[in-house]
Amino acid sequence: MTEEVLQTQLAKLPVSESDISYFRDHMLSNPENSPSNLVAKIKNIVVGVIFYEIQQDKSGEIGVFIDREYRGQKIGSKLLEALITKTTNDLQVTIFAKNRSRQLYKQHGFLEDGPETTHTFFEGIYLPVQTLRLKRTH
């Protein structure tokens, strides 16, 4: 994996209209998801988000994203704490296996749920991923 591939093929900016449509139509507008999609603002500027999507097994698939300039300020931790307080179902996140944010999830009780797998972006480009799960008692 090279920096060029990462910037030009995996993390294309600006975000495509199809990506925006997916988030709007499948995550943000679904009544089961919308109360748990959270935003962090500083001085009226969005600096972090946590996306939540209910799965068929009723667990919540999540993703925490913090603006690079605001990382290290516990914003992700506060968003995750708010979501954990707000929901009662299991939560899971699938992240790159070497992602430093694994520690964030582990600090909040998430545990590895199965072995590392491979996420293929397109032929010849793939990265190992790991699912972490927060099991809730019902």
Tally the domains of the chain. Answer: 1
Given a cut of 80, whether residue 104 has pLDDT beyond it is yes
- Residue-wise pLDDT for 20-77, tens only, equals 777 777 777 788 888 898 999 999 999 999 999 999 999 999 989 898 899 899 999 9
Chain Cα centroid distance, residue 119: 15
The residue type of 59 is S
61 beta partners: 53, 92
Domain that holds residue 106: 3-134
pTM, two decimals, is 0.79
Given a cut of 60, whether residue 94 has pLDDT beyond it is yes
Which of 136, 115, 116, 138 has its CA nearest to residue 128? 116
Q: How far apart are CA 72 and CA 127, in angstroms?
A: 25
CATH number of 92's domain = 3.40.630.30
Assign 7 a pLDDT band (cuts: 50, 70, 90). Answer: low
